[in-house]
């Protein structure tokens, strides 16, 4: 079990609270023995308890811990020959390892977008294993032959049977209602819907729309009736994006081929876009391709989408669509790099930070406990060397994340490195 939390104060840092681009210099953050922020502001105005442990953060910029709203803890890009060797136990071990790596990289909260059982969430929450605060969607829902169907042209099915991940393959309104209820019974906080084809599926195209509006609406209704967090749609193709929006989806993931009408619908319904640039660059990485981590059909599809997604995202941002950080990260990837891409492709450094903090917390329904540096909130913090408002490229370098706290506990400390 984790060690008890002791009152502490972080001194000497620049503070970026997530609400405003205005920075507090020579700041102080006081944390109580419950891991909550008691006070924050210029050190000269903050009352520091005599018994507080002092943490020197001179030269660092402190901001709220990062929130990644689209990860896959149990997955990894790897050749098919390796995929078929993975048992359910292997996937659990991988999820625990990946969660720890994400946490130590500054990602203190995540929404898993598929294939991670609710037991992982409970393991992290109990403190038995270090990992982010986690919400899960269990198994994504897919139509037969859709993006979540592991069938391949050979007849082999590339899926690992896991008892606490019910099947998500369903066709028709009644069947998708039952599939949704199975995920909720398994502990899902969100329901993931495959509204279009995808890059890594062998049997479809990202342009193809999957599930009808009525089917997606039934899924949305069941999630609302159960009172869970909401629904998210894997949606790359133009028609599927609009089908999901018309059905009442909570967030659009990827949105690669969004058009003007789709943007109109997002604005009318105040639905955020989660673009996941990081996975796209990983799929195009020459070393991964050479190792066989990315199948040939995926490379071809990614090349088709690559520049189209960037152009669509820029336009959506210019129109005022809300953006939330999600990375589609697997084992071995570095989620904070997404902030550099968000900034580069039109969001700018501060709005990228908000997409990964205050705005992400609102989407996940936890803005009362995380997402900003405010008294009463949990001390989920990340301290970076340099100024992220002037140098968004620092997010590509893991060594620049110098200090990470989760609920007041130091979980990574690279200040002396």
What is the pLDDT averaged over residues 207-216?
97
Residue 411 C-beta-side C-alpha neighbours within 13 Å: 28
Copy the structure tokens of residue 281: 């660059």
pLDDT tens digits, one per residue of 331-372: 889 999 999 999 999 999 999 999 999 999 999 999 999 999
Cα separation, 313 vs 274, whole angstroms: 10
Number of other residues whose CB lies within 10 A of the CB of residue 198: 24
Residue spans per domain, the chain: 8-65+371-413, 66-364
Long-range contacts of 398-403 (CB under 8 A, 24+ apart): 398/105, 398/334, 398/336, 401/105, 401/106, 401/336, 402/57, 402/60, 403/55, 403/57, 403/60, 403/62
Residue 40 sits at the vertex; the CA angle it makes with 38 and 42, to the nearest 5 degrees, is: 145
Cα separation, 178 vs 167, whole angstroms: 10
- The per-residue pLDDT for 415 is 93
Beta bridge partners of 378: 36
- The per-residue pLDDT for 19 is 95
The answer, yes or no, to whether residue 82 has pLDDT greater than 90, is no
- The per-residue pLDDT for 351 is 98
What's the whole-number average pLDDT of the chain?
94
Cα separation, 395 vs 390, whole angstroms: 12
- The per-residue pLDDT for 78 is 77
The answer, yes or no, to whether residue 224 has pLDDT greater than 90, is yes
Copy the structure tokens of residue 416: 């002396």
Number of other residues whose CB lies within 10 A of the CB of residue 90: 12
pLDDT tens digits, one per residue of 118-129: 999 999 999 999
What is the pLDDT averaged over residues 245-265?
98
Residue for token digits 């990340």? 382
**Greatest CA separation for the chain:** 69
Q: What percent of the chain has pLDDT over 90?
A: 83
The answer, yes or no, to whether residue 161 has pLDDT greater than 90, is no
More confidently predicted of 201 and 133: 133
pLDDT tens digits, one per residue of 88-114: 898 899 999 999 999 999 999 999 999
- Binning pLDDT at 50, 70 and 90, where does residue 226 land? very high
Q: Cα–Cα distances in Å, from 293 out to 81, 91, 236, 259, 326?
A: 10, 17, 22, 31, 21
* pTM: predicted TM-score of the whole model, two decimal places: 0.96
The answer, yes or no, to whether residue 4 has pLDDT greater than 80, is no
- Binning pLDDT at 50, 70 and 90, where does residue 87 land? confident
The answer, yes or no, to whether residue 417 has pLDDT greater than 80, is no
Annotate 141-154 with b (16+ C-beta within 10 A) or e (fewer).
Answer: bbbebbbbbebeee
Q: Which CATH class for the 66-364 domain? A: alpha beta
What is the pLDDT averaged over residues 191-200?
96
What is the pLDDT averaged over residues 4-33?
93
> Among 3.30.70.330, 1.20.1300.10, 2.30.40.10, 3.40.640.10, what is the CATH number of 8-65+371-413?
2.30.40.10
- The per-residue pLDDT for 342 is 98
Q: Which of 82-96, 153-167, 374-388 has the highest mean pLDDT?
A: 374-388
Q: Where are the alpha helices (DSSP H) in 114-172?
A: 118-126
Q: What percent of the chain has pLDDT over 70?
A: 99
The answer, yes or no, to whether residue 1 has pLDDT greater than 70, is no
The answer, yes or no, to whether residue 228 has pLDDT greater than 80, is yes
Name 85's Cβ contacts closer than 8 Å, sequence gap at least 6.
Answer: none
């Amino acid at each position: 079990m984790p060690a008890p939390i002791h009152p502490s104060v972080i001194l000497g840092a620049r503070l970026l609270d997530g609400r405003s681009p205005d920075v507090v210099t020579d700041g102080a953050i006081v944390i109580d023995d419950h891991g909550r922020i008691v006070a924050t502001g210029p050190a000269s105005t903050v009352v520091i308890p005599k018994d507080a442990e002092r943490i020197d953060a001179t030269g660092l910029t402190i901001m709220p811990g990062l929130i990644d709203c689209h990860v896959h803890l149990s997955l990894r890009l790897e050749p098919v020959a390796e995929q078929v060797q993975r048992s359910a136990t292997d996937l659990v071990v991988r999820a625990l390892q990946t969660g720890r790596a994400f946490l130590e990289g500054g990602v203190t909260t995540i929404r898993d977008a598929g294939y991670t059982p609710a037991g992982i969430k409970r393991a992290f929450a109990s403190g038995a294993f270090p990992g982010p605060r986690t919400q899960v969607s269990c198994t994504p829902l897919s139509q037969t032959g859709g993006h979540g169907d592991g069938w391949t042209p050979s007849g082999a099915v590339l899926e690992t049977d896991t008892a606490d991940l019910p099947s998500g393959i369903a066709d028709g309104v009644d069947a998708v209602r039952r599939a949704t209820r199975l995920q909720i019974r398994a502990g899902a906080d969100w329901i993931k819907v495959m509204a279009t084809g995808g890059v890594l599926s062998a049997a479809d195209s990202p342009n193809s729309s999957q599930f009808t509006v009525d089917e997606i609406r039934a899924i949305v209704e069941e999630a609302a009736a159960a009172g869970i967090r909401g629904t998210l749609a894997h949606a790359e193709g133009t028609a599927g994006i609009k089908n999901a929006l018309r059905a009442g989806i909570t967030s659009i993931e990827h949105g690669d081929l969004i058009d003007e009408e789709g943007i109109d619908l997002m604005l009318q319904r105040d639905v955020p876009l989660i673009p996941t640039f990081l996975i796209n660059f990983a799929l195009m990485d020459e070393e991964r391709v050479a190792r066989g981590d990315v199948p040939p059909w995926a490379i071809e599809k990614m090349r088709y989408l690559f520049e189209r997604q960037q152009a669509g995202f820029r336009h959506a941002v210019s129109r005022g669509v809300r953006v939330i950080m999600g990375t589609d990260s697997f084992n071995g990837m570095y989620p904070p790099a997404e902030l550099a891409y968000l900034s580069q492709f039109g969001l700018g450094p501060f709005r990228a930070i908000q997409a990964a903090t205050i705005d992400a917390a609102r989407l996940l329904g936890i803005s009362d406990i995380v997402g900003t540096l405010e008294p009463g909130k949990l001390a989920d913090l990340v301290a970076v060397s340099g100024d992220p408002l002037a140098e968004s490229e620092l997010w590509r370098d893991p060594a620049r994340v110098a200090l990470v706290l989760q609920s007041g506990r130091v979980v990574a400390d690279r200040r002396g490195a």
